[in-house]
Amino acid sequence: MTQPLKSRFTLNDLRSARSLGRKIPMLTCYDYTTARLMHAAAVPSLLVGDSAANVILGHDTTLPISLDFLIELTAAVRRGAPLALLVGDMPFGSYQGDPGLGCENVFKMVKQTGCDCVKLEVTPDHAPLVKRLADAGVAVMAHLGLRPQSVNVLGGYRFQGRSVGEAQHIIQAAQRMTDAGASALLLEAVPNEVSAAVVARTNLPVIGCGAGPACDGHVVVLHDIAGLTPHQPRFAPPIGDLTSAWQKVLQKYVQDIDSGQYPLPQHGYEMPLDQAKILAGLQQ
């Protein structure tokens, strides 16, 4: 049985894993209770993703989620998993405009959550921002490939790196992020050939999200692999069925109420007899 994390998992551990060829698991997490379970299961790295907009808030895209809400979630996950490498996601609109405001928002995320790293969905033009943050001491995970915050520009959720030209664009962007001082890369929904080329061209740890086995680690949305979402991407097939488990618990509760099996005397609290007599007398 897997033992809980015993020591802090850091970016140095992620870098060491890359050099040793050890693949690192990462999962999305959005709350304290789940973070505690992940800590007990020795999940070394957690991402509080803007995918919370979908699986927590019910939006069709990640665009509506706010920075303040993600900060609250990230701080909760930090409390539940104090030893994990924690990545806080920067939401749409929090860094894409004025670089100064972008830095302020990133600093706010780091200071108020205790996260170890921030994730930015980037284009090559974000290199100056990444450098500015790195120079300030912020570890940045640069997100390339399919970038859900750019869904309107991309024309939908389609995998990237389909052509040589697209692949070269991703590889070049990865090199620019490396040169700008990024601490890690995340590649989403790209062919393994593209991931392998990125891994070969950079010394940074590369986390894949539907990006093939060449990556140094892999991240998926917890709700997908737990069977909690109606549709899962091909790279996150369910490995459990928490939907059925939850439904059984909820149905049993409703049935117990309907049948009178809950609450029973053992589920309640007894007033001291002398106080009960006084209260009964007051009601007469």
Pair 158, 270 in one domain:
no
Measure the CA–CA gap between 63 and 6, rounded to whole angstroms: 36
> Does residue 131 surpass a pLDDT of 80?
yes
Pair 227, 253 in one domain:
no
Residue ranges of alpha helices (H) inside 114-235 are: 127-135, 151-154, 164-180, 192-201, 222-225
Pair 115, 147 in one domain:
yes
- Specify whether the CB–CB gap between 66 and 112 falls below 8 A: no
**What whole-number percentage of the chain has pLDDT above 70?**
99
For residue 266, what is the DSSP state? G
Pair 129, 257 in one domain:
no
What is the structure's pLDDT at 148?
Answer: 85
Pair 144, 278 in one domain:
no
Pair 188, 257 in one domain:
no
Distances (CA, A) of 120 to 72, 139, 258: 18, 11, 50
Q: What is the mean pLDDT of residues 120-127?
A: 96
For residue 21, what is the DSSP state? T
Pair 202, 269 in one domain:
no
Q: Model confidence at 118, in pLDDT bands (50, 70, 90)?
A: very high
Radius of gyration for the alpha carbons in the chain, expressed in angstroms and rounded = 23
In CATH, what number is assigned to the domain containing residue 134?
3.20.20.60
Q: Which of the following is catalytic: 104, 166, 188, 193?
A: 188
What is the structure's pLDDT at 268?
Answer: 95
Residue 219 lies in a domain: yes
> Does residue 45 surpass a pLDDT of 90?
yes
Q: What is the mean pLDDT of residues 111-122?
A: 98
DSSP readout, 120-140? Answer: EE--GGGHHHHHHHHHTT--E
Measure the CA–CA gap between 178 and 206, rounded to whole angstroms: 11
Pair 132, 161 in one domain:
yes
Residue 3 lies in a domain: no
Residue 5 lies in a domain: no
Bond from prior residue into 263 cis (ω within 30 degrees of 0)? yes
What is the structure's pLDDT at 235?
Answer: 94
pTM for this predicted structure? 0.93
Pair 233, 257 in one domain:
no
State the average pLDDT for the chain: 95
What is the structure's pLDDT at 152?
Answer: 74
Pair 270, 213 in one domain:
no
Residue 2 lies in a domain: no
Pair 148, 276 in one domain:
no
Pair 217, 129 in one domain:
yes
Beta bridge partners of 187: 144, 208
Residue 104 lies in a domain: yes
Q: Model confidence at 156, in pLDDT bands (50, 70, 90)?
A: confident
Work out whether strand 217-220 and strand 85-89 pair parallel, antiparallel, or are unpaired: unpaired
Tens digits of per-residue pLDDT, 3-43? 788 899 999 999 999 999 999 999 999 999 999 999 999 99
What is the structure's pLDDT at 1?
Answer: 59
Residue 98 lies in a domain: yes
Range of the domain at 103: 11-240
188 is catalytic: yes
What is the structure's pLDDT at 153?
Answer: 74
Residue 1 lies in a domain: no
What is the structure's pLDDT at 135?
Answer: 98
Residue 142 lies in a domain: yes
What's the structural domain count of the chain? 2
Tens digits of per-residue pLDDT, 73-104? 999 999 999 999 999 999 999 999 889 999 99
Tens digits of per-residue pLDDT, 193-237? 999 999 999 999 999 999 999 999 999 999 999 999 999 999 999
